[in-house]
Amino acid sequence: MPRVKKQISVAMKAQQLGIIYRLVEQFELISRIDLSKLSGFAPASITELTRQLIQANFVMERTVQTNIVRGRPAIGLCLSPFYWRTICATLLEDSFEISLCELNDNVIKQMTFVLTEEKQQDLAQFITQSIGHFLQQIQQESGRLLAVSVVVAGELHHHGQFLKKLGRHNFDDLDLLALFEPHFPCPILLNEYFQTWIFAESSLGSAINSHNVLFLQLDDVINMSVLIKGEPVNSERYTRMNINKVAVPAFSELHDLINQDLSEVERHQLYHQVTHHSIYQLVDKLFPQNALIDGEQKIRFVCEQAKQGNENAIKILYHIADSVSYVLMNLINIFSSEKIIISSSLLAAKEIFLPRLQQKLKENLLLDNLEVAIGTSHYALNSPIVASSAIKKHIYNGDLLKNLK
């Protein structure tokens, strides 16, 4: 029994440290008195908690001299970015991004490794070689690593550490954790991009202070999540809602140009109308003389052509916006969502894509008095801040602070 009490005490202490760390980060410079008021902890507890965070190099004291009050300068607390380092990695359909960062998200070193179709065939070797090359470059800069965060813009097995799908490629449960563990003596956090992106947007980005929100990621996959009163409708373990098979009407002639090898039912599914593999087909059909390979180049090509006024490129963006708005309209009518946050490579032409999406939502919403704001992601798809937010989450909840003395 005493052992159980000690474990509970350690967990509670770590949670308290996480609360104080988050407040210091939020206010950038804050006094111990204000920390006590905001956290509800007694001044004596604040003194002890801040002492531990200072000794562990998570926060530091800073003097503040004002022009209003003479006398001894006040002492506040702020983050200490100089000691701990984190490694933030993002595995995308066509690239692998690795960054060495400070706790305040400043990037010290960043490298991009291009992931070609050929390298996809031996993804494990590609990741291992990329990690090795990156570590060679940061030997003199790594400092003390607090944690490694890896986010995958694909699908992980429900056990968490196995890669199931990346882009159009399925994998036989590739163990990603086993690829990173030999290189790092610190905790390794492995998450799907979408789950981490939602936390980043909710706590640091475009959805701060928003309570009823739809999150949509639209790229080589479709991911959707709903927040009501700031809480996800689905459980924390299953953040993503599967809307791939939702049937959408044929809004234009483009509907029947693609996926002709599929059945009529499958062709009407959202996944086969709006994801990257469908856009690649539309580009090849409407721009038959293009010699671009499937990937980022084709997406960029469509967006650039649309911004230049090309009717076929605009048709592609409208087709996708109309199909997506149909599904969003139904979800908004169900959940009364007041805001939509979108992450998509198509936002390179957001001045064309978003107004069309907004127009179609207004035309079809059943809730006439509901104003729905459409916001874009605060972060680029390859931003290390998204991966870093997973580390912050585990600092806030105390998981990475349990060993502080």
Blockwise average pLDDT, block size 10, the chain, 405 residues: 56 93 91 92 93 94 65 77 93 93 93 92 95 88 85 84 87 90 94 90 79 88 83 63 89 90 92 93 92 85 96 96 92 87 93 94 74 87 92 95 77
| Complete edge-to-edge strand list for the sheet that includes strand 162-166 | 155-156, 162-166, 169-175
181-198 pLDDT, tens digit per residue, is 999 989 999 999 998 999
Residue 172 tokens, joined: 């036989």
277-336 pLDDT, tens digit per residue, is 999 999 999 999 888 887 788 999 999 999 999 999 999 999 999 999 999 988 888 888
DSSP letter string over 352-385?
HHHHHHHHHHHHH-S-TT---EEEE-SS-TT-HH
The rounded distance, in Å, linking the Cα atoms of 24 and 59 is 8
- CA-to-CA dists, residue 244 to 218, 272, 273, 324, 358, angstroms: 11, 8, 10, 11, 21
Instruction: Please say whether the dihedral angle defined by the alpha carbons of residues 205, 206, 209 and 215, taken in this order, is positive or negative.
Output: negative
Residue 60, judged by CB atoms within 10 A of its CB (0-12, 13-18, 19+), counts as: middle
Q: Are strands 95-102 and 84-91 parallel, antiparallel or unpaired?
A: antiparallel
**pTM here?**
0.84
